[in-house]
Structure 1
Amino acid sequence: MTTDPFAQFKAVQREAWAIFAPTAAFTTPCAAALVDFAGINRGESVLDVGCGTGVVAITAACAGAHVKGLDLSPALLEFARHNASLLDGEIEFIEGDAEALPYPDAAFDVVLSQFGHMFAPRPDVTIAEMLRVLKPGGRIAFSTWPPELIVGRVFALVGRYLPPPPGAAPPPQWGSPDIIRERLGDAVIDIEFQRDEMRFPTLSPRHYVATMEQTIGPVAKVVATLSDDPARLVQFRRELQELATQSFAHNIICQPFLMTRAVKR
């Protein structure tokens, strides 16, 4: 058996992201945008990688697809199962790793991920797994945060204060079309991109920072790590609030994101 060099890193992620559920509602309209962009059809088999509370999986199921969802966090999967219980039909949600998908080759017509697979440490392993379980002619579609815009810059800030282990790729790289093309390579055809935005209601940039600290695992981890270094914690919060201020207007933080779709050869 091969030992996962990122097992401890993933254990930290599993714990950190458990607090995300209160913010998941803001990702619900984005889920509809991704499902529409992916062109989900009734009867198709769909996998949602990094499904979190199930917003994409459930949206795809409402479009008539047969859906499975996988996430690293058992806490978020409990929310996903509860959300799915309000629907007719069944969605199978299981705990699992995007770098080791527990499904056979060519099992799905569509593989989706909304701000999920991008946090797996090894992009080459992750994309190989997502394409492995996708049927030839099937579609892969995902949403990611561009590195030059607010959420990508937030995660870059987090990485400066709490660097990932050596060999782990920064999540915002998944928001660069050039890098996406390189990672998908010639395993796919017909790559298309589309931008959209998440509108995050908040009373002020300071309120936004407080919400991030309470619901976004990596941000909460930085705050906890800096608890014994008050000066650096003040600086981190100041920098985070400055980023939020640049995107704040009319009690909304506009968070643009990138959607990618491609067809497996």
Structure 2
Amino acid sequence: MSQDPFAEFKKRQRDMWSSFAPTATFTPPVAGHLVKFARIQPGEAVLDVGTGTGVVAITAARSGAKVAGLDLTPELLEVARENARIARHEEIVWTEGDAEQLPYADASFDVVLSQFGHMFAPRPEVAIAQMRRVLKPGGRVAFATWPPEHFVGRMFAFVGRNSPPPPAGASPPPLWGNPATVAERLGASFDAPFFERGVMAYPALSVEHFRLFIERSIGPLQKLVESLAGDPQKLESLRAEFEALAAPYHFDNVVHQDYLLTRAHAR
């Protein structure tokens, strides 16, 4: 097997997201929306790609599905196992693994889900091919992503402008939030997709509170802040720019984060 040209990049991603667990506290409502949108049925075999702390996997299991969850970051899988124990769904099978190299047999699942997970795989065509491979005939994929024109997509663009560039050939994650791009990427292997939108409510007393929390729990921004520790003036400027970016989305003590849901049936 040829060497993965993105192996080092993925290792950095794995380490970068190890602090994400506190942020996942705000994602269960999105998981509920996604599982309902995916039309999960009791007894279906479901895979959650990029499961993180397991909120989607556990939600699907509570709907009666037989669930497996996969993530690149072992620290998040430990939290997922504990969440499953608390929710009394210890039957969920958790696996450390890569969205571009799914460790499952062909036609293993009725549904493949992903909540803000597969979008970080550097090669969309590889991730989609893998998701399609493990789906049974007539199976479906459903995922939540961040549109590039709304806050989280703009935040990742902001981080990208201020960070070393990713390896050549890596696709920007927010492109998965553009319906036209999604339809094009799915087109060869899936029927025309259905879309739905929602807003994730992120409680925050002030923009400053929000910025501080994000700096400590969103890996890419955390690494960016750490890289500027020796340049207080530049760090202060970066923080001011972030707060200006977030300010229009913060009202009623909530940062409003728009997301896109996609569902499509395999051909």
SS of corresponding position for 2:30 = helix
Q: Which residue of 2 aligns with 1:11?
A: 11
Q: Which residue of 1 aligns with 2:50?
A: 50
Q: CA deviation at 1:250?
A: 1.1
SS of corresponding position for 1:77 = helix
Total equivalences in the alignment: 265
Q: CA deviation at 1:88?
A: 4.3
Q: Which residue of 1 aligns with 2:160?
A: 159
Task: Tell me which moved more, 231-240 or 63-72.
Answer: 231-240
CA contact (8 A) 2:48 2:56 kept: yes
Structure 1, residues 129-149: CA drift from partner, whole Å, max 9, x if none? 111111121110000000000
Q: Which amino acid aligns with 1:10?
A: K
Q: How does 1:138-153 map to 2 (within 5 A)?
A: 138-153=139-154
Q: Which residue of 1 aligns with 2:260?
A: 258
Closer/same/farther in 2, CA of residues 247 and 83 from structure 1, 3 Å limit: same
How many angstroms apart in 2 are the aligned matches of 1:144 and 1:229?
33
Q: CA deviation at 1:8?
A: 1.1
Q: Which residue of 2 aligns with 1:25?
A: 25
Q: CA deviation at 1:49?
A: 0.1
Structure 1, residues 87-110: CA drift from partner, whole Å, max 9, x if none? 145000110000100001111000
Q: Which structure 2 segments of 5+ residues have no match?
A: none
Q: Which amino acid aligns with 2:176?
A: W
SS of corresponding position for 2:26 = helix
CA contact (8 A) 2:61 2:89 kept: no
Does residue 36 in structure 1 map to residue 26 in structure 2? no
SS of corresponding position for 1:227 = coil
Q: Which residue of 2 aligns with 1:186?
A: 188
**Which of 183, 195, 198 lines up with 2:197 in the alignment?**
195
How many angstroms apart in 2 are the aligned matches of 1:177 and 1:231?
39
Q: Which residue of 2 aligns with 1:134?
A: 135
Q: Which structure 1 segments of 5+ residues have no match?
A: none
How many angstroms apart in 1 are the aligned matches of 2:140 and 2:80?
23
Q: Which amino acid aligns with 1:20?
A: F
Q: Which residue of 2 aligns with 1:96?
A: 97
**Which of 160, 172, 176 lines up with 1:170 in the alignment?**
172
Q: CA deviation at 1:186?
A: 2.8
How many angstroms apart in 2 are the aligned matches of 1:11 and 1:88?
29
How many angstroms apart in 1 are the aligned matches of 2:251 and 2:205?
10
Does residue 245 in structure 1 map to residue 247 in structure 2? yes
Q: CA deviation at 1:63?
A: 0.1
Q: Which amino acid aligns with 2:113?
A: L
How many angstroms apart in 1 are the aligned matches of 2:201 and 2:78?
26
Give the structure-1-normalised TM-score. 0.98
CA contact (8 A) 2:72 2:97 kept: yes
Identity %: 58
Q: How does 1:223-234 map to 2 (within 5 A)?
A: 223-234=225-236
Calculate the aligned-residue CA RMSD, in Å. Answer: 1.0
Q: CA deviation at 1:230?
A: 2.7
